[in-house]
Amino acid sequence: MSKLQLSLVVTVFNEEENIKPLLEAIYTSLEGIEYELILVDDGSTDKTVAESKRYANERTRVLIFNKNYGQTTALAAGIDYAEGEYISTMDGDLQNDPSDIPMMLQKAIDEDWDVVAGVRANRQDGFVLRKIPSKMANWMIRNTTGVHLKDYGCSLRVYKAHIAQDMGLYGELHRFIPVLAKQEGARMTEVDVKHHPRIHGTSKYGLNRTFKVMADLILMLFFQKYLQRPIHLFGTIGLLSFFIGVFINIYLLALKILGEDIWGRPILLVGLILVLGGLQLITTGIVAEIIIRTYFESQGKSTYKVKEEFRGE
């Protein structure tokens, strides 16, 4: 069997009405390309799995999770199973258009890009619940990570396989995929892509995701700067806290020697807290170093469990 040029990974969750038109659009759009379609069902509770099996062709593989793990884990599973030289990802809600993929793939090949990211130029989403949170998240990510893309929320992207498979996706980090790819040394570009309003099903996104993005952003900044050397973060803050606390306590000791009463002063409590807190942070840094070394040196384990793999005929 010749090497596949493209693996398309599509994640779905309760999208039964979208499966047939989605697969038909993919089969039509990718005609002439050596590809495989990996459809990852993230624990759907409707007829998504049945519809996927019904309309799957010989190029389609359906991964069926035993429960809902989340979009990031579903993407990770699809990428792990991918066998193509390039990997493309997109949502299964029919808002992304698979007809953009051949253009993006050709751009990646012709110009030797590691990642070609889509930008929803004429986004067809609600302004308050979708566009505002997305703009806020995009602004925060751009200005804190230094990875300047216009649209972090667009899941339609094309990657070189080795970049996608080395990113280490877990948790809810799918919005930060460009940042993870950048950490692997990826060269990235953006292209405008089509975007359609959702016709069937309900959106899984909303304002509450902005707060999740803020929390994940803290984790991403740690990954960027301190993943391999957590002692540089915890140790630096810990030493600063410790020495400030020691300085305060020496000052209070001097006052005590001079005959002043220091008992009951708030600064005494501050000094003790800074010393103890500093020691705890330094200890945390050492423990984190041991954990990170174990992480890098040990065998990795999957964060998902595939209940069934189905291949279309």
For residue 304, tell me if it sits in a domain: no
Tokens of 221: 């900044």
- Quote the pLDDT of residue 202: 65
For residue 308, tell me if it sits in a domain: no
Query: CB count, 10 Å around CB of 213?
Result: 21
CA-based radius of gyration for the chain: 25
Question: What confidence category does residue 13 fall into, taking pLDDT thresholds of 50, 70 and 90?
Answer: very high
Count: domains in the chain: 2
Question: What confidence category does residue 1 fall into, taking pLDDT thresholds of 50, 70 and 90?
Answer: very low
- Whether residue 259 sits in one domain with residue 183: no
Query: H helices then E strands: how many in the chain?
Result: 10, 8
Query: CB count, 10 Å around CB of 164?
Result: 31
Q: Are 124 and 97 in contact (CB under 8 A)?
A: no
CATH number for the domain including 19?
3.90.550.10
- Whether residue 246 sits in one domain with residue 215: no
Whether this model's pTM surpasses 0.75: no
- Whether residue 190 sits in one domain with residue 163: yes
For residue 181, tell me if it sits in a domain: yes
**Least confident stretch, 7-21, 145-159, 217-231, 264-278:** 217-231
Query: CB count, 10 Å around CB of 24?
Result: 12
Helix (H) or strand (E) holding 38: strand 35-41
The rounded distance, in Å, linking the Cα atoms of 21 and 12 is 13
Q: Give the range of the structural domain holding residue 253, as residue numbers without chain letter.
A: 231-297
- Whether residue 204 sits in one domain with residue 71: yes
CA torsion sign for 170, 122, 182, 7 is: positive
pLDDT tens-digit series, residues 238-248: 999 999 999 99
- Quote the pLDDT of residue 193: 93
**Least confident stretch, 146-155, 241-250, 263-272:** 146-155
| Dihedral, CA of residue 30, residue 131, residue 48 and residue 20, to nearest 10 | -40
Q: Are 159 and 87 in contact (CB under 8 A)?
A: yes
- Quote the pLDDT of residue 25: 95
- Whether residue 258 sits in one domain with residue 212: no
Fill in the DSSP letter of residue 3.
P
Name 119's bridge partners. 192
> Regarding beta strands 60-65 and 306-311, do their DSSP bridges make them parallel or antiparallel, or are they unpaired?
antiparallel
- Whether residue 239 sits in one domain with residue 203: no
Query: CB count, 10 Å around CB of 308?
Result: 12
pLDDT tens-digit series, residues 177-213: 888 888 788 899 999 999 887 777 566 555 556 666 6
For residue 302, tell me if it sits in a domain: no
CA torsion sign for 235, 240, 241, 243 is: positive
- Quote the pLDDT of residue 262: 81
For residue 312, tell me if it sits in a domain: no
Residues 6+ apart with CB under 8 A from 70: 42, 171, 172
Average pLDDT of the residues in 17-38: 95
pLDDT tens-digit series, residues 85-107: 999 999 988 889 999 999 999 99
- Whether residue 288 sits in one domain with residue 142: no
Block residue for tokens 């990875």: 147
- Whether residue 125 sits in one domain with residue 19: yes
- Whether residue 217 sits in one domain with residue 201: yes
The rounded distance, in Å, linking the Cα atoms of 192 and 103 is 11
The rounded distance, in Å, linking the Cα atoms of 115 and 170 is 19
For residue 111, tell me if it sits in a domain: yes
- Whether residue 293 sits in one domain with residue 150: no
- Whether residue 91 sits in one domain with residue 203: yes
Q: Is the pLDDT of residue 11 over 70?
A: yes
